[in-house]
Amino acid sequence: MTPVLNADQLQAVLADSFPLGDVPTVELVEDDVVVVSQRVHEGHGRPGGTVSGPTMMALADLAAWLVTMAHVGPVLLAVTTSLHIDFLRKPALTDVVARARLIKLGKRLSVSDVEIFSRGSEKLVAKAQVTYSLPSTPSN
Q: How do residues 26-76 score in pLDDT, each as one tens digit?
A: 999 999 999 999 887 776 667 777 888 889 999 999 999 999 999 999 988
CATH number of 119's domain: 3.10.129.10
**Domains held by the chain: number:** 1
List CB contacts of 4: < 8 A, sequence separation 6 or more: 70, 71, 72, 73
Q: Which helix (H) or strand (E) holds 36?
A: strand 33-38
Q: Examine residue 87 and state whether it is found in any structural domain, yes or no.
A: yes
Residue 35's domain comprises 7-133
What is the pTM (predicted TM-score) of this model?
0.91
C-beta separation of 63 from 98 below 8 A? yes
